[in-house]
Amino acid sequence: MIVKETGLKDCFVIEPTFFKDNRGCFLLEYNKKEFQEKTGFTGDFVLGNQSTSQYGVVRGLHLQKGEFAQAKLVRVVKGKILDVAVDARKESETFGKVFSIELSGDNNKQLFVPRGFLHGFSVLEDGTIVSYKCDNYYYPESEDGVIYNDENLNIDWGLEKKEIILSDKDMKLQMFKNL
């Protein structure tokens, strides 16, 4: 496993061990001991989620607050996304900074998003399957978020405005300055 810094404190790109031969391929998706040694993350992933989306869908920017905050390890099983993390930890030296990376079923990269970060992604291929582990359970009452097109964050989602598909909930999210 190769771990690369993103420029955002505690947020990492993970390049898992991948083996390919004439039979197919094998991906070592997660090794807790190695992950802890290379990232310093000592939590346990307790929840696994998977979504399937069509081209143009933007999910996010979401987070859970307080004691229900979640760290996430995100990967794409099939297709391609632009994955986005925003440091929303007011005490952090990278507060308000944005990191984005293309994750795909072909490149096998993963993004570790620590607690206190906003997270979202745009779907760049039809039928994209995103899988992610969380280190805390989901509690709807602690959910919060920021609108995808917040002008201060200035995120390029890799889509034309007319292509973007949002949920009703995500259309009503607040601006980052109000978080």
- What is the identity of the amino acid at 81? I
Under 8 Å between Cβ of 133 and 47? yes
The first and second tokens of residue 115, run together, are: 């607690």
The catalytic position among 30, 119, 132, 137 is: 132
Active site residue 119: no
Nearest alpha carbon to residue 98 among 151, 51, 160, 167: 151
Active site residue 148: no
The catalytic position among 55, 62, 139, 148 is: 62
Q: Distance (Å, rounded) from C-alpha 35 to C-alpha 179?
A: 31
Using the structure block, give the residue that is written with the tokens 């810094």.
5
Just list the catalytic residues: 62, 132
